[in-house]
């Protein structure tokens, strides 16, 4: 969370909710779902939550996470990085290069 606060300017986050869904009648009656830990964290960071409702939107975010998880672990291994401290030093450059694609 500290990395997000220090190095990013995020105002909107797209992700897929898998649980705690309200029916339309519950939403219209004003009922709300209590925030999860993740919900509280993004709220504290000032990030707006926009749920991914379509299969296409859910697929895009899942493909992004798959890409990041596979590439990052490979790059860390190739660079001989095996500690959290070394990974934290490596991340800013990796993010910069990834975002330039």
Predicted model pTM: 0.45
- State residue 64's pLDDT score: 83
Per-residue pLDDT of the chain in tens (101 residues, 90 and over written 9): 566 666 665 555 555 455 556 666 766 777 666 677 888 888 888 888 777 778 887 888 888 888 888 888 899 999 999 999 999 999 999 988 888 87
Phi, then psi, of 14 in degrees rounded to 5 = -100, 130
Looking at the DSSP bridge assignments, the partners of residue 34 are: none
- State residue 90's pLDDT score: 94
Nearest CA-CA partner of 99 in 6, 8, 5, 1: 8
- State residue 74's pLDDT score: 92
């Amino acid at each position: 969370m500290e990395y997000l606060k220090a190095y990013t300017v995020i105002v909107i986050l797209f992700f897929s909710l898998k649980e705690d869904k309200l029916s339309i009648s519950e939403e219209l009656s004003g009922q709300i779902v209590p925030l999860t830990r993740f919900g509280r964290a993004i709220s504290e960071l000032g990030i707006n939550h926009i749920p991914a409702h379509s299969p296409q939107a859910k697929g895009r975010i899942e493909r992004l996470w798959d890409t990041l998880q596979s590439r990052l672990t490979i790059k860390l291994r190739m660079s001989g990085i095996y500690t959290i401290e070394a990974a934290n030093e490596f991340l800013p450059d990796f993010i910069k290069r990834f975002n330039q694609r």
